[in-house]
Amino acid sequence: MASNVFDRRRINGPQRSVEPLYTAKAAEPFANGRLDGRALDQVRPIFIKTGPLDAQSPSASAPSGSAYYEQGKIRVSCAIYGPRQGRQSNARMGSFDCDFKYAPFSCSWRLSHIKSSDEKEIALMLEHAIGPAIRLEAYPKASIDAFVTVIESDGKAATIAAAINCISAALADAGIELYDSVAACSMSMYGTQWVSDCSQAEENASTCSLLVSRMPSVDEITYLLQHGKTTPEMTTQAIQACSNDCTRVYAVICRYLQATLE
Amino acid sequence: MAESGQQVACAMQTFERLHPTEFQRRFLAQNTRHDGREFMQFRPVQVVKGAISTAQGSATVRVGNTTVVCGIKAEVCEPDVKRPTEGYLATNVELSPMCSAQFRAGAPSEEAQVASEHVHRLAGQMFDLTSLCIESGRAVWSLAADIVCIKHDGGILDAAVVALVAALEDLRLPKAELDLGTGMVSADRTMATHVGVGKRLFPATFALVDDAYVVADADDSEERMATASLLVVHDDRGRLVNVWKRGGGMLSSETIARCVQRARERMTEIAQTL
């Protein structure tokens, strides 16, 4: 259901509009295995491309690095601007800022144009997840900005993980100094079983979700978020499993980045 | 030899960065453009329809490097009392800070507002709103067509219009029925049908660069030094739908006639990709 806030600067539809009631029942997730036939610990296939938005000729308005990332149906695009002049002229460390936006058509429900608090929260999550990997002391007085647009999403936690992976690849493309690439992965719990990389339908049916972002080669977790009810043992077990997934995702990103150098 | 070639390339890049206007002039004076195109040559168009499963209709369009994605979301609402059979179509162009450093995050820039407004007017020309009627006076479809710019390299209006046409052609609305008792609309996804656009629109943009040269489909660096721009839109029968000249630069009526002629040729180029 879209809340149509009247906005003078945009073309507005009717004051109130709702989604129709869809008669066809959606298939029950986990009724017999996963909807797309994956194994429970299987991550959706990943496609990465760095530099789709980069300038062909030197131009001040083009980003210094960019990436396009797909994971199953999820499509995320990211552009990195900077290092460019920061707001604070005497800062000893550079600053890293993220901006996260869902395209209005990217979710199964319609989103408002105006940035929601949800998007602001995710932007902050991305900053926290990626920030520790950047050598900010190498960029005094500078700011590095990442702009992420979700073109299509399928599962909220998985979309955030995809955004983290996309920014990682874009930062590498921009030539920003990093300690390590950050790789992220998500899991949801269904019954007493953890399931990797859930789609929207699977996430809706689950009771608990976990997001882990990690720098695998230094073995450090940069961000961890768990929603819902579990036991400490279950969570510990899931963090371990999710970390392993991160390592697999990391391998895909690194293999791609290496191939671009050859 | 290779080394000196590299030096020349490097010097050229530095020159372009430091004196962008002078850099462009050197090419234009030689009757060519910095990307090797002729003055009246457009960039190639690529259209991919229906890639986004969360939207009822979608299209991705590339014009040279400019990339836009148009997605249409359909919802139901009550119609306006004065027009009981007409649905709604709201088109918005989103120029995010991702696509170019010239845009800021937050409220839409002036350029985005102008583009939204103009695309919306054109959409009213081509799309028959009565095709969105579910039950006269009670329920209609309300479409939200959002055109998100992924990469901005000039010619955003052209790309936006083509993307909107392609997305509307791709649009499939589920079969909807109004329950007169409860007033609720139920829709069957398995019985989705194409709505179809009334008429396709074919845009073409020309720019007057440096007050002297008329070029077709200017890219970002050329648009920056343009003093006037001319948008010509034809429909699929070759009739003029819209001519819009902006900016202070002077265009003679012969030049405009020449541009309109060239825009008609552009029609076939776009029609092949749709």
Per-residue pLDDT tens for A96-151? 999 999 999 998 887 887 788 899 999 999 999 999 999 999 999 999 999 999 99
| Residue A3 pLDDT greater than 60, yes or no | no
**DSSP readout, B25-77?**
HHHHHTT--TTS--TTPPPPEEEEE---TTSSEEEEEEETTEEEEEEEEEEEE
What's the mean pLDDT in B69-75?
Answer: 95
pLDDT band for A61, please (50, 70, 90 cuts): confident
- Cα–Cα distance measured from residue A189 to residue A201, given in angstroms and rounded to the nearest whole number: 13
- High-pLDDT (> 70) share of chain B, %: 98
What's the mean pLDDT in A37-61?
Answer: 86
- pLDDT tens-digit readout, B224-273: 899 999 999 999 898 999 999 998 899 999 999 999 999 999 999 999 98
CA distances to A36, A148, B17, B32 from A199, rounded to whole Å, are 9, 20, 45, 51
Q: How high is the pLDDT of residue A58?
A: 66
Contact B77 A17 (CB under 8 A): yes
State which amino acid sits at residue A261.
Answer: L
Contacts of residue B80 in chain A, CB cutoff 8 Å?
14
What's the mean pLDDT in A159-169?
Answer: 97
| Residue A251 pLDDT greater than 90, yes or no | yes
CATH-assigned architecture of domain B45-273:
2-Layer Sandwich (3.30)
Contact A149 B174 (CB under 8 A): no
What's the mean pLDDT in B79-102?
Answer: 92
Among A66-80, A163-177, B171-185, the least confident range? B171-185
Pairing of strands B88-95, A183-190: unpaired
Place of tokens 């940035």: A115
Q: How high is the pLDDT of residue B106?
A: 81
CA distance B254 to chain A (A): 34
Contact A81 B69 (CB under 8 A): no
**Predicted ipTM?**
0.90
Q: How high is the pLDDT of residue A8?
A: 82
Domain locations along chain A: 38-261
- For B71, the closest of A56, A105, A113 (CB atoms) is A105
Q: How high is the pLDDT of residue B3?
A: 59
In DSSP terms, A214 is beta-bridged to A183, A221
First to last CA, chain A: 48
> Nearest residue of A to residue B70 by CA position?
A105
Q: How high is the pLDDT of residue B121?
A: 94
Q: How high is the pLDDT of residue A5?
A: 59
Place of tokens 């900005």: A145
What's the mean pLDDT in A18-33?
Answer: 79
Interface test with A, best of B70, B150, B172, B173 (most A CBs within 10 A): B150
What's the mean pLDDT in B93-109?
Answer: 89
pLDDT band for A1, please (50, 70, 90 cuts): very low
Contacts of residue B88 in chain A, CB cutoff 8 Å?
13-14, 17
| Residue B26 pLDDT greater than 70, yes or no | yes
Q: What are phi and psi of B181, to 5 degrees?
A: -70, -55
- Cα–Cα distance measured from residue A41 to residue A195, given in angstroms and rounded to the nearest whole number: 6
User: How many Cβ atoms are within 10 Å of B166's Cβ, its own excluded?
Assistant: 25
- Cα–Cα distance measured from residue A75 to residue A159, given in angstroms and rounded to the nearest whole number: 8
| Residue B6 pLDDT greater than 70, yes or no | yes
Q: How does B21-35 read in b/e, with b if 16+ C-beta sit within 10 Å? A: eebbbebbeeeebbe
Pairing of strands A95-102, A142-152: parallel
Contact A11 B117 (CB under 8 A): yes
Contacts of residue B65 in chain A, CB cutoff 8 Å?
56
> Nearest residue of A to residue B151 by CA position?
A53
CATH C-level class of A38-261: alpha beta
User: How many Cβ atoms are within 10 Å of A256's Cβ, its own excluded?
Assistant: 17
Q: Evaluate if pTM is beyond 0.90.
A: yes
| Residue A10 pLDDT greater than 60, yes or no | yes
Q: Name the nearest CA neighbour of A154 among A259, A44, A68, A240.
A: A44
- Count of A-B CB contacts under 8 Å: 158
Contacts of residue A103 in chain B, CB cutoff 8 Å?
69, 71, 94, 146, 148
Contact B76 A17 (CB under 8 A): yes
CA distance B236 to chain A (A): 26
What's the mean pLDDT in A52-71?
Answer: 85
Q: Is B185 exposed, middle or buried (0-12, 13-18, 19+ CB in 10 A)?
A: buried
| Residue B2 pLDDT greater than 70, yes or no | no
